[in-house]
Chains A and B, each alone.
Chain A
Amino acid sequence: MRRSDLGEFEEVVLLTVAVMVPKAYSVIIAEELERETGQPVSTGAVHAALQRLEQKGYVTSVLGEATAERGGRRKRLFTVTALGGRVLTDVRSVRNRLWERIVPPTMLEWS
Chain B
Amino acid sequence: MNPPRFPDRLLTWLVAPHLREEVLGDMHERFFRRAGRLGETTARRRYWRDSLAYLRPSFIRRKPASNPTQTTPTMIRNYVKIALRNLVKHKGYSVINIGGLAMGMAVAMLIGLWIYDELSYDRYFQHYGRIAKVMQHGTHNGEVFNGEYNPLPYGNELRTKYGADFDHVIMSSWTSDHILAYGEKKFTKTGNYLSPDAPDMFTLKMLRGTRAGLKDPASILLAESVARALFGDADPMGKTVKIDNKLNVKVTGVYEDFPFNTEFRDMTFIAPWDLYVSSEDWVKRAQDNAEWGNHSWQILAQIAPNSNFETVSDKIKNIRVEHDPATAFLKPAVFLHPMSRWHLYSGWDKSGNLDGRIQYVWLFGIIGLFVLLLACINFMNLSTARSEKRAKEVGIRKAVGSVRSQLISQFFSESLLVAGFAFALSIGFVLLMLPFFNEVADKKIGILWTSPLFWLSGLGFSLMTGLIAGSYPALYLSSFQPVKVLKGTFRLGRFASIPRQVLVVVQFTVSVTLIIGTIIVYRQIQHAKNRSIGYDRAGLITVAMNTPELHKGYNALRGALLQTGVVVDMSTSSGPATDLRSQNAGFEWEGKDPNFKESFGTVAVTHDFGKTVGWQFKEGRDFSRQFTTDSSGMVLNETAVRYMGLKNPVGKIVKWGDTSFRVVGVIRDMVMESPFKPITPTIFILRYDWADVINIKLNPARSTRESLRQIEAVFRKFNPGSPFDYRFTDEQYALKFRAEEQIGKLASAFAVLAVLISCLGLFGMASFVAEQRTKEIGIRKVLGASVFNLWRLLSKDFVVLVVIAFGIATPTAYYFLYNWLQKYEYRTDISWWIFALSGAGALAITLLTVSFQSIKAALMNPVKSLRSE
For the complex, count residues of B whose C-beta is within 8 A of A. Answer: 22
How many A-B residue contacts, CB cutoff 8 Å? 66
**In the docked arrangement, what's the CA distance between A30 and B50, Å?**
11
B26 at the binding interface (Cβ < 8 Å): yes
Q: Given A71-B24, A74-B21, A75-B22, does the pair A42, B29 have CB atoms closer than 8 Å?
A: no
Q: Which of B51-59, B196-204, B336-344, B560-568 lies at the binding interface?
A: B51-59
Contact with B25, one of A45, A48, A71 (Cβ below 8 angstroms): A71
Shortest Cβ distance from residue B240 to the other chain A in the assembled complex, whole angstroms: 98
B49 at the binding interface (Cβ < 8 Å): yes
A111 at the binding interface (Cβ < 8 Å): no
A100 at the binding interface (Cβ < 8 Å): no
Q: Given A42-B49, A73-B21, does the pair A67, B58 have CB atoms closer than 8 Å?
A: no
Shortest Cβ distance from residue A26 to the other chain B in the assembled complex, whole angstroms: 5
**Which residues on the B side are within 8 Å of A70 (C-beta)?**
24-26, 28-29
Q: How many residues of A sit at the interface, in one of the four size bands?
A: 20 to 34
Q: Is the CB of B50 within 8 A of A44?
A: yes
Chain A, range 19-71, C-beta contacts under 8 Å to B:
25-27, 30-31, 40, 42-45, 47-48, 51-52, 63, 67, 69-71
Residue of A40, A44, A71, A76 ringed by the most chain B CB atoms within 10 A = A44
Shortest Cβ distance from residue A103 to the other chain B in the assembled complex, whole angstroms: 42
Q: Is the CB of A43 within 8 A of B30?
A: yes
**In the docked arrangement, what's the CA distance between A26 and B54, Å?**
13
**Which residues on the A side are within 8 Å of B23 (C-beta)?**
44, 47
Q: Is the CB of A48 within 8 A of B28?
A: no
Q: Is the CB of A42 within 8 A of B53?
A: yes
Chain B, range 51-91, C-beta contacts under 8 Å to A:
51-54, 56, 58-59
Q: Given A43-B26, A47-B26, does the pair A69, B53 have CB atoms closer than 8 Å?
A: no
Shortest Cβ distance from residue B61 to the other chain A in the assembled complex, whole angstroms: 11
Q: Is the CB of A48 within 8 A of B56?
A: yes
B738 at the binding interface (Cβ < 8 Å): no
B427 at the binding interface (Cβ < 8 Å): no
Contact with A43, one of B32, B50, B56 (Cβ below 8 angstroms): B50
Shortest Cβ distance from residue A23 to the other chain B in the assembled complex, whole angstroms: 13
B27 at the binding interface (Cβ < 8 Å): yes
B856 at the binding interface (Cβ < 8 Å): no
Q: Given A30-B30, A31-B33, does the pair A44, B54 have CB atoms closer than 8 Å?
A: yes
Q: Is the CB of A75 within 8 A of B26?
A: yes
Shortest Cβ distance from residue A39 to the other chain B in the assembled complex, whole angstroms: 13
Q: Is the CB of B50 within 8 A of A74?
A: no
Q: Is the CB of A51 within 8 A of B25?
A: no
**Which residues on the A side are within 8 Å of B46 (C-beta)?**
40
Q: Is the CB of A75 within 8 A of B53?
A: no
Shortest Cβ distance from residue A30 to the other chain B in the assembled complex, whole angstroms: 7
Least CB separation from A61: chain B residue: B22
Q: Given A44-B54, A48-B56, does the pair A73, B24 have CB atoms closer than 8 Å?
A: yes
Least CB separation from B51: chain A residue: A44
**In the docked arrangement, what's the CA distance between A28 and B33, Å?**
10
**In the docked arrangement, what's the CA distance between A63 and B26, Å?**
13
**In the docked arrangement, what's the CA distance between A84 and B46, Å?**
32
Shortest Cβ distance from residue B40 to the other chain A in the assembled complex, whole angstroms: 15
Q: Enumerate 22 A-B pairs (CB-CB under 8 Å) in ascending A order.
A: A26-B26, A43-B27, A43-B50, A44-B23, A44-B51, A44-B54, A44-B56, A45-B53, A47-B23, A48-B56, A67-B29, A69-B29, A69-B32, A70-B24, A70-B29, A71-B24, A73-B21, A74-B25, A75-B25, A75-B26, A75-B29, A76-B22
Given pairs A43-B26, A73-B21, A75-B22, 8 additional interface contacts (CB within 8 A): A30-B30, A42-B53, A43-B27, A44-B23, A47-B59, A48-B56, A70-B25, A71-B28
Using a CB–CB cutoff of 8 Å, the interface residues on chain A facing chain B are 25-27, 30-31, 40, 42-45, 47-48, 51-52, 63, 67, 69-71, 73-76
